[in-house]
Structures are given as structure tokens and as C-alpha cells.
Amino acid sequence: MANVTVIGAQWGDEGKGKIVDWLSERADVVARFQGGHNAGHTLVVGDKVYKLSLLPSGIVRGTLSVIGNGVVLDPWHFRDEVAKLKGQGVDITPDNLQIAETCPLILPFHRDLDGLREDASGAGKIGTTRRGIGPAYEDKVGRRAIRVCDLAHLDDLGPQLDRLTAHHDALRAGFNEAPIDRAALMAELTEIADFILPFVKPVWLTLNKAKSEGKRILFEGAQGTLLDIDHGTYPFVTSSNTVAGTAASGTGLGPSGAGFVLGIVKAYTTRVGSGPFPSEQENDIGQRLGERGHEFGTVTGRKRRCGWFDAVLVRQSVAVSGVTGIALTKLDVLDGFEELQICTGYRIGDRTFDYLPAHAQDQARAEPIYERIGGWSETTAGARSWADLPAQAIKYIRRIEELIGCLVTLVSTSPERDDTILVRDPFAD
Ligand code: IMP
């Protein structure tokens, strides 16, 4: 099975964009399978920088790109992102971009609700991207969503809209917000439908056909395993399953199609938004990691929280996502540290753990147990072979492999696509 599924193995922002771009050159199809425009994937191609939130990264190189049913789609954002990329010279047509008929829509009141809830939550807020992701997924599982295929049947939307607006109007009343303006909503949907519908296809069929023709499919995960609704640091998570298994349910290809699972892992740890982060460094070290790593959110511009590499969490991600190999990114950010630390366990009260317990309070109280390892003074930026790396950097990588129980497939040493040390070709497996 020559497919590859790329997922983040931490809290997102691991540098998936570059890796997916690098792999998409050899893929026949690139598919998004969960999340929405909360993602931020940065691609550097030559002297151009592309920032994608919703569209699969393959689109930049003209590879057939599909948005699977597991994605929640804001149709207005879709139109804006298509326009932005076209403005950068990217060719986007229904021949190279498809949207699944069954994607639930993110509507304007989902975005409102996301913001209202965050504003009302004070210190307990999740720190969402405020893009309506959570409320849209709630409507999906509540069986009241408007889906992409409904855009072709707007005249039949009446009873569905009744259920949806009844639900949301009650919520809005609780926030002293006016009820949904149905006429305005219908007008907006009618206006956007013409733009969206040409892209709408039975994506599951496209992918199954591609599979039977022996084509290479690249599944592009968004966010990270620790933000997974089931396996992440709940409730400080996103509202979708971000684990590799979702590549199947979020596209309609079946579990055997996932292929090689490539977990993207940053050489240290970052997190945006609230929630537990045992190895966080709220000090000079965190500051230095953030500055050297340019750790600001692609979508919201928020400063990312930074800390040491947490081997416990990545080991857990490797297990729950069934990771075959990892891509280690941003190693060069650690250049010049005299000493590095790796979190190898937690102390919670008088107990020690070699995994992160599920309860939010235990997670919040988890104190990291560190192992110290010597750093290196040389630069690793731009390294393209093991011979270019200092011995201590190799030692650091080998120790990470041991602790997480998974081997490195590639090492990325700068945002440039060619600054990559390839150990094993995921597509060749
Ligand atoms: P939501 O996905 O907007 O509901 O946000 C829920 C949590 O996931 C927040 O902590 C966000 O900061 C985080 N999050 C969502 N998308 C991303 C991403 O692409 N990278 C990193 N964190 C993300």
C-alpha cells in the first residue's frame, strides 16, 4: 500500500506543511480528512510562501486535492482562500480540487457561538481559533447540520433549517443575541452555492478509484494527536479526531488505505491555547525556543507556549495513531543550547506515570521528570545528511527514538524543502 498518512504527534504546529508539500510532489492525490480552517499549514516553495488553512497542501503543486467528509467547511472562507491562492498564481479548478458532498457547513452563527462561549468562559476558556469549528461539529453529531450537498437543494431546506435555528436561537437567547435571520442566511447560502457546487463530488468514489488504479494517496492531517477529541488533553482539544485512523472515516476509503503513518514531531514542544503542558518553560528557555522557532500561530498570530521535548506524550501519540515512522522538525532551534532536557515521565502527588493520565486535574498537576542530555554548539540548519549533523545532535535524535519507541523517517532542518535528511521513503513501503 503506497499511501501515506501524515499526522501531528504533539499539539499541532509541528511543521506538517513542509513535509506534506515535500511528499505531495510524489503523490497522485492529497486528501484532508478532519478539522477545517482552524489549521495553518505554511509552505515555502522557492521564494514564495503559501499559507493554507482549509485547502489540501497538494493544490499548490497542482496535485489532485480533495476535502474529505470529515472536514467542516466554511464556504465563504473556502472562496477567500481559493481567491488568495489564485492571486499567488496557483491554478485551482474543479479538475484539481474536490469537496465531499457530505461535509457539514460552518455557518456564520457557528463562528458567533464559538466567540461568545470563549468570551463567557473567562479563565476557563479553551483558546479556540474562534472559527466555529466546535459548534459545526456539534451540529453534525446532533444530526441537524446543513451539508455541502444541501447547497444543491436549498428549496428543500425548510424543515432542516427549522431544527437548526430552533436549537441555535435557544443558545443565542442565553447570550442575549438576536435570533438567526433566516432570510439573510438563505440569501447568503444561495449566493455562495454557485461557487461551491462545481467542486462538489463523491470524494469517497474518487479515492476508491484512485486506490484501485494503484495511485498514491497522501492524507494530510491537521492539528495534532494531543488535540484529538478522544485521545487529547480534554477538554482543551479540538472537536475532531486528529489521529491517523480518521483518514479512513474522514474520507470513505477504509482503514486499509491509510498506508504508512508518518507522525510529525517537533524537536521540542509547543502549544497554542489553554490546557495542560507539563514540560512548558515559562522562562528564558521558553522565550528562546519561541524566538528561535518563530513560534506564532499561522491562523491567529497568537504566541505559542514553548517547552522541552516530552517523550511521554509522543510515545502515547505513536501508540494511539499507530505511527510507522516520525519526521523530526526544527532541530536547528535547539542549536547552541549547552544542555537539553527531555521529559521521560510525570510525578503526580506521590505517584509516577509513564503515560499521561486521562483526568484533566491529573494532567494539570503532572510534574515532568527530566533526563538531561548535552547540547551542541554547531549549526544544524540546512543539514542534508547525517554527516552534516554534530555527534550530540545525532545522540539527541537516537535517544528520542528509544524513548518514543519509533524510528526517524526523516529530519527537517529548515523550512526549505531540500533541507531534509531522508532515512526511509514513506511512499516506498
Ligand atoms: P478549535 O479547533 O478552534 O476549536 O480550537 C481548539 C484548540 O485547538 C485550541 O487550543 C486551538 O489553539 C487548538 N488548535 C486548533 N487548530 C490548531 C492548529 O492548527 N494548530 C495548533 N493548535 C490548533
> Residue by residue, what is the 3-state secondary structure of 302-315?
CECEEECEEHHHHH
Query: CB within 8 A of 176, min separation 6: which ones?
Result: none
- The residue whose CA is least distant from atom 11 of ligand 1 is 128
Which residue's alpha carbon is nearest to atom 23 within ligand 1? 223
Residue owning the nearest CA to atom 9 of ligand 1 = 128
Q: Is the pLDDT of residue 300 over 80?
A: no
Return the beta strands (E) in 226-300 as ranges: 260-266, 269-271
Determine the average pLDDT of the residues in 206-217: 96
Pocket test for ligand 1, best of 10, 11, 14, 38 (most atoms within 8 A of CB): 38
Boundaries of CATH 3.90.170.10 in the chain? Answer: 265-428
Q: What is the pLDDT of residues 30-46, one digit of tens each?
A: 999 999 999 988 888 88
User: What pLDDT, on the 0 to 100 scale, is given for residue 144?
Assistant: 96
At CA 199, angle to CA 196 and CA 204, rounded to 5? Answer: 125
Q: Judge if the beta carbon of residue 126 lies within 6 A of ligand 1.
A: yes
What separation in Å is there between the alpha carbon of 214 and the centre of ligand 1?
Answer: 34
pLDDT-based confidence at residue 416 (cuts at 50, 70, 90): confident
Confidence of residue 1 (pLDDT cuts 50, 70, 90): low
Taking each helix axis from N to C end, the angle separating 182-196 and 158-174, rounded to the nearest 10 degrees, works out to 120
Domain 4-103+199-260 is found in CATH 3.40.440.10: yes
What pLDDT shows up at residue 233? 97
Residue 38 CB–ligand 1 contact under 6 Å: yes
CATH 1.10.300.10 occupies which residues in the chain?
Answer: 108-196
State what percent of residues in the chain have pLDDT above 90: 91
Backbone angles phi, psi at 59, to 5 degrees: -60, -30
Pairing, β 420-422 against β 408-412: antiparallel
Query: What is the CA(218)–ligand 1 centre distance, in A?
Result: 22
In the predicted model, what is the mean pLDDT of residues 46-52? Answer: 90
Angle subtended at Cα 405 by Cα 229 and Cα 257, rounded to the nearest 5 degrees = 55
What angle do helix axes 158-174 and 108-120 make, rounded to 10 degrees? 20
Q: Is the pLDDT of residue 343 over 90?
A: yes
Mean pLDDT of 387-400: 97
pLDDT score of 297: 79
Centre of ligand 1 to C-alpha 238, Å, is 6
Cβ–ligand 1 distance for 326 under 6 Å, the answer no
Decide: 279 and 178 in contact? Cβ < 8 Å. Answer: no
Pocket of ligand 1 contains residue 228 by CB under 6 Å: no
Q: Which atom of ligand 1 is nearest to the CA of 8?
A: 20
Whether 362 sits among the annotated catalytic residues: the reply is: no
pLDDT tops 60 at residue 410: yes
CATH topology of domain 265-428: Adenylosuccinate Synthetase; Chain A, domain 3 (3.90.170)
Grid cell 443575541 — which residue?
177
- Is pLDDT of 393 > 70? yes
Would you list the DSSP string of 189-240?
A: HHHHHHHHGGGEE-HHHHHHHHHHTT--EEEE--S-GGG-TTTSSTTSS-SS
User: Which band of pLDDT confidence, cut at 50, 70 and 90, is reported for residue 391?
Assistant: very high
Cα Rg for the chain, rounded, in angstroms? 22
Is-cis flag, bond preceding 235, omega within 30? yes
Query: In angstroms, rounded to a whole number, what is the distance separating the alpha carbons of residues 45 and 17?
Result: 11
The one catalytic residue in 21, 37, 41, 139 is: 41
Q: Does the pLDDT value for residue 239 go beyond 90?
A: yes
Any atom of ligand 1 within 6 Å of the Cβ of 413 = no
Our answer on whether the CB atom of 239 is closer than 6 Å to any ligand 1 atom is yes
Q: Which atom of ligand 1 is nearest to the CA of 128?
A: 5
Residue 248 has pLDDT above 60, yes or no: yes
380 Cα: distance to centroid of ligand 1 (angstroms): 30
- Ligand 1: centre distance to CA 134 (Å): 10
> Which residue's alpha carbon is at the smallest distance from atom 2 of ligand 1?
238
From residue 210, give the alpha-carbon distance in Å to each of 28, 61, 226.
8, 18, 31
Residue 178 has pLDDT above 60, yes or no: yes
pLDDT of residue 31: 98
pLDDT in tens, 113-144: 999 999 999 888 999 999 999 999 999 999 99
CATH level 3 topology of 108-196: Adenylosuccinate Synthetase, subunit A; domain 2 (1.10.300)
Helix, strand, coil percent content, the chain, rounded in steps of 5: 40, 20, 40
Mean pLDDT within 236-259: 96
**CB 19 within 8 Å of CB 410:** yes
Q: What gap in Å lies between CA 209 and CA 201, rounded to an integer? A: 13
- Is residue 196 scored above 60 in pLDDT? yes
3-state secondary structure of 370: strand
Which residue's CA lies nearest to atom 15 of ligand 1?
38
pLDDT of amino acid 91: 96
Which residue puts its alpha carbon closest to atom 10 of ligand 1?
A: 273
pLDDT band of residue 97 (cuts 50, 70, 90) is very high
pLDDT at residue 429 greater than cutoff 80: no
Would residue 167 show up in a list of annotated catalytic residues for this protein?
no
For CATH 3.40.440.10, the residue range(s) in the chain are 4-103+199-260
Check residues 17 and 221 and name the one with the higher pLDDT: 221
